[in-house]
Each structure stands twice: as C-alpha cells, then as structure tokens.
Amino acid sequence: MPLFGKKDSGKKIRKDVKDGCDKLPSIDDKYVIKELLGTGAFSEVRLCEHRETAQQYAVKIIDKKALKGKEDSLENEIRVLKRFSARRSDGSGVQTAAPPIGGPRFAHPNIVQLLETFEDKSKVYLIMELVTGGELFDRIVEKGSYTERDASNLIRQVLEAVDYMHEQGVVHRDLKPENLLYYSAAEDSKIMISDFGLSKMEDSGFMATACGTPGYVAPEVLAQKPYGKAVDVWSIGVISYILLCGYPPFYDENDANLFAQILKGEFEFDSPYWDEISDSAKDFIRNLMCVNVERRFTCKQALAHPWISGNAASSKNIHGTVSEQLKKNFAKSRWKQAYHAATVIRQMQRMALSSGGSGTAYGRSSSRISNVAADGTSSAAGGGGGAGNETSGDGQADTATTAASGSK
C-alpha cells in the first residue's frame, strides 16, 4: 500500500525524476562518483565530483528494487527538498531543482540543498550539498569549552530553519541530533538540518501516522491523535535538554514505560547535572516540552524567548559534565551494539512466532541475545543517539535502531 495513500505515486516519482533526466546527461557524464560516506536500509551516500568544476557534492543513491512499493516516500523527500532548494546556477550548468508551483522558494542556509536528480534502470541519484563538519554531539565532545550560550546559538539556528519550514507548510517529523550536522570543520560552522525522508507537507492531508524516533517524538504522536507543526517544537525541546546535560529527558528500557513518560511529559532537571543551568534555560525547555499542544511554544515564540534572543544564557563552561554524559549515553559503540542486538532479537522473535513460541519464551531469548550481541560489530550508518527504536514509514531514509543508556 502506498505510504501516503496515493496509488499512482510510484508512477509520479518515476516521471518526476525522469523529467529531470530528459534535460540532463547521465550522472556519469557530469559527475565522478567516489568513496562511500554512509549507508542505509535502501540507500547509500557517496562523495561525487563535478567533472567540469571539480566541485564536490554528496550523492544519495537509492536502489529501486529495494524501494519497490515505497516509491512515494522518495517522491515526498524530493518534493520537500525541491521546496527548500532555490534555483541558482554556479556557472557550471549545475542548477538546483525548479521551484514548486505557487512561486519561487529560496534556499535556507541551515537546510541541506538538493541540486539535481538522475535516474537509470536500477537506481535514483540525488545530488546534494556536501556537509563535512560531522554530527552535533561528536563536535561538542571534541570541544575544549562549551557553554549555555553555545547551546542557545545551536538551537536558534535549528529554530530559524524549522520556522522557515513551517512557513512553507512542511513538518519535518524526525528532528533528532543525528539529523543535525555541521556544515564544515570550521570553528564557527553553521548547523544544517538533513534527512527529510519522514517530512510531510501539511497540504497533503492531516497527519496521524506514528513515525519518528521514540525518544524525541511528541505525546500527541504516541497518542495517535492528529498532529501538526508542534511535534517539531517538542523534538527541539528534547534536543535542547540533551545539549544542556548530556542525557535524554525520557528513558526506559521498556518501550511501554518510555511512552508513558512521554505521554505524561514526565521529566526532571536532576541535581547535580542541572544545578549550574540557568532558570531561563529550564523555562525555555518547559515551554517546548509542554504536553498541551495549545500551550506549547511555536518556533517564533521560542525564538523570542530570552534564552534565545536575549542574554539569559549563561557563559559558564559546562563542557566537562555535558561531554562526559554524552559519551556515556550516546557513544556510537553503544548504538551500534544496540542495533545489532535489536536485529538479532527481531529475527528470534519471528522464529518464535512461526514455531508458536510464547511471549515468555521470547522475553528470555531477547534478554540473552542482547547480552551476546553487545560484543557484535555490525552497525548501520545514519542513526544513533536516540533513546529507543526508530519507527518510520520511510522507504529510503538511512534508518537504524538506536538506543541510549539513560544512565547518569
């Protein structure tokens, strides 16, 4: 069944991509495809270089066979990225996608750009802006100094980009730290929002699908209620919380308990981790992680908060505490191991179901396999850092099951 309920979506995406190909040479005529940067369930990302200018880009390569039946997910991602990609020429003949019906759109400096698309018999290629600065948490851990003001500046950039998205009628639906990347290795590099595989335009119908990453997902999504832009604000609140202490506001090894915490909005500013954090920062977070959607801040309200727009953010160095907690709770080795464990567990559960095994039997199997799998080395790129398992209807996004220890 098509992901967004459109029976002809597969035909549309093939036509949409092919329209671009009719006007452009093949990808090999224009670009040299180079080394692997990351992999996902249905795609891989590689470095590519423009043959005429030597300008480097990232190319997302989607396997059509693996994507079969989920073509509308790719269509959605391309449609959203086109909306945020201004038509411009760099003098090499490389142009961004044409603006959508309704007038031109302008690129936002904090949203990764789609430049053009290609297609051949087996694959679809998305030429993307190359982002080289690495993931948000990794950069914080590597820094020698880190303050509330640094966190405030990061969140301001995210809020400005998401506010722009919301003005264009787009809800991201999967904001999380691993989708926030530094543009370059420069000390003053800007933050970029990536991965629009789960995003949705509001004019495409009401949203009620449970998707996203549980540790960052809003209560109304878990409650299976219709939802809108406010879900992104909640996620930004969760990210803000983590940026100031290094651990997630909601955590439980049992998903049902985790969901119950989120539905109630139960989180604390634990001592001693929050003792040195300003009251303004705590007030900011409370207004973003508010269960009542009507009372939850919009992006514009959040941008006007003194912690973002004023001088309320403290300049005290909190790097030691935050980096220690980030390493403990979001270490890549942990989420890679968790991915491997969860994959094996799912396989064993399917076996138990097919053989008529009981729920109690599988509880024991899961526990044992988790312990064994912790020594495994299997991993998947594109995820990590979330408290819980990524749930998505996405056909092509770089998905990975992720986990945080939640310990302090």
Tens digit of each residue's pLDDT (9 = 90 or more) over 91-128? 333 444 433 333 444 578 898 888 888 999 889 999 98
**Strand-pair partners of 45:** 38, 60
For residue 299, the one-letter residue type is C
3-state secondary structure of 124: strand
Q: What percent of the chain has pLDDT over 70?
A: 66
Q: What is the pLDDT of residues 344-355, one digit of tens each?
A: 334 434 433 443
Q: How confident is the model at residue 154 (pLDDT cuts 50, 70, 90)?
A: very high
Q: What is the pLDDT of residues 354-405, one digit of tens each?
A: 434 333 222 222 222 122 222 222 222 233 333 333 333 333 333 332 333 4
Q: How confident is the model at residue 206 (pLDDT cuts 50, 70, 90)?
A: very low
State residue 332's pLDDT score.
55
State residue 393's pLDDT score.
37
Separation of alpha carbons 270 and 289, rounded Å: 16
State residue 352's pLDDT score.
39
Q: What is the pLDDT of residues 299-317, one digit of tens each?
A: 999 999 999 999 999 999 9
Q: How confident is the model at residue 202 (pLDDT cuts 50, 70, 90)?
A: low
Instruction: Tell me what the mean pLDDT of segment 42-52 comes to.
Output: 92
Residue 47: phi and psi, rounded to 5, are -75, 140
For 28, other C-beta atoms within 10 Å of its C-beta total: 12
pLDDT above 60 (res 146): yes
Instruction: Tell me what the mean pLDDT of segment 168-193 comes to.
Output: 88
CATH topology of domain 134-319: Transferase(Phosphotransferase); domain 1 (1.10.510)
Annotated binding residue 336: no
In the chain, where the domains are located: 27-86+108-130, 134-319
3-state secondary structure of 175: coil
Instruction: Tell me what the mean pLDDT of segment 241-256 comes to.
Output: 92
What is the overall mean pLDDT for the chain?
Answer: 73
Separation of alpha carbons 207 and 225, rounded Å: 8
State residue 366's pLDDT score.
26
Contact between 305 and 297 under an 8 Å Cβ cutoff? The reply is: yes
Residue 59: phi and psi, rounded to 5, are -120, 125
State residue 395's pLDDT score.
34
Of the candidates 163, 174, 195, 398, the residue annotated as catalytic is: 174
- Indicate the pTM of the whole model: 0.71
Separation of alpha carbons 64 and 244, rounded Å: 41
Please indicate whether residue 8 is annotated as part of the active site. no
Contact between 196 and 260 under an 8 Å Cβ cutoff? The reply is: no
What's the CATH number of domain 27-86+108-130, 3.10.129.10, 3.30.2010.10, 3.30.200.20, 3.40.50.280? 3.30.200.20
